[in-house]
Amino acid sequence: MNRRCTETIRRRIEKAPDGSVFVSSDFADLAEPNTVRQILNRLGREGLLRRVLRGVWDKPPYSRLLEEAVAPDPDAVAQALARRHHWTIAPGGEAALNQLGLSTQVPAVWSYVSDGPYRTYRWGKTTLEFKHRANREITGLSPKTILVIQALKALGQSHITPRVLRTLRARLSKEEKTVLLRESAEATAWVARAIRQMAGEETEEARIRRLMARTGVYQYGLISTAQIPFYAEIRKICQENRCRSYGATWACPPGAGTFEECRNRCLEFDQAIVFSGKYRLQDSMDYEGMKQGHRQFKDLCDQVYQVLRDAYPRHLLLSNEGCIRCQRCTYPEQPCRMPERLFPALEGYGIQVMELAKAAGLRYYEGSLWILYFGMFLL
Query: Do 336 and 226 share a structural domain?
Result: yes
Let me know if residue 66 belongs to a domain.
no
Domain boundary among 15, 30, 59: 59
Contact between residue 116 and residue 134 where contact means Cβ atoms under 8 Å apart: no
Query: Do 80 and 41 share a structural domain?
Result: no
Query: Do 346 and 235 share a structural domain?
Result: yes
Q: Mean pLDDT, to the nearest integer, of 172-181?
A: 89
Among the listed ranges 135-139, 235-239, 305-309, 320-324, which one has the minimum average pLDDT value? Answer: 135-139
Q: Is the pLDDT of residue 8 over 60?
A: yes
Contacts of 379 (CB under 8 A, 6+ apart): 161, 162, 269, 270, 271, 272, 273, 308, 312, 314, 315
Query: Do 351 and 219 share a structural domain?
Result: yes
Query: Do 320 and 290 share a structural domain?
Result: yes
Q: Is the pLDDT of residue 220 over 70?
A: yes
Q: What is the pLDDT of residue 55?
A: 93
Q: Is the pLDDT of residue 165 over 60?
A: yes
Contacts of 336 (CB under 8 A, 6+ apart): 250, 329, 330, 342
Q: Mean pLDDT, to the nearest integer, of 131-150?
A: 82
Query: Do 106 and 15 share a structural domain?
Result: no
Domain boundary among 202, 234, 265: 202
Contact between residue 36 and residue 28 where contact means Cβ atoms under 8 Å apart: yes
Q: Mean pLDDT, to the nearest integer, of 156-164?
A: 86
Round to whole Å and give the CA distance between 131 and 144: 18
Let me know if residue 369 belongs to a domain.
yes
Strands 109-114 and 126-132: parallel
Q: Which domain holds residue 30?
A: 2-59
Q: What is the pLDDT of residue 212?
A: 94
Helices 2-15 and 33-46 sit at what angle, rounded to 10 degrees? Answer: 60
Total domain count, the chain? 3
Query: Do 286 and 326 share a structural domain?
Result: yes
* Signed CA dihedral, 45, 51, 57, 61: sign only: negative
Query: Do 248 and 178 share a structural domain?
Result: no
Per-residue pLDDT reduced to its tens digit, 304-330: 999 999 888 889 999 987 788 888 888
Full-model pTM: 0.58
Let me know if residue 69 belongs to a domain.
no
Query: Do 293 and 347 share a structural domain?
Result: yes
Q: Is the pLDDT of residue 235 over 90?
A: no
Per-residue pLDDT reduced to its tens digit, 67-115: 788 889 999 999 999 999 998 888 888 889 988 989 888 788 899 988 8
Q: Mean pLDDT, to the nearest integer, of 147-158?
A: 90
pLDDT band at 118 (very low <50, low <70, confident <90, very high): very high
Q: What is the length of the chain?
A: 379
Query: Do 98 and 52 share a structural domain?
Result: no
Cα 37 to Cα 5, 13, 30, 78, 87: the distances in Å are: 12, 14, 12, 19, 21
Cα torsion for 305, 294, 274, 318, to the nearest 10°? Answer: -60
Higher pLDDT, 240 or 344: 344
Which residue type is seen at 263? R
Round to whole Å and give the CA distance between 101 and 95: 10
Query: Do 315 and 251 share a structural domain?
Result: yes
pLDDT band at 137 (very low <50, low <70, confident <90, very high): low
Best mean pLDDT range from 108-112, 137-141, 270-274? 270-274
Query: Do 191 and 84 share a structural domain?
Result: yes
Q: What is the pLDDT of residue 135?
A: 65
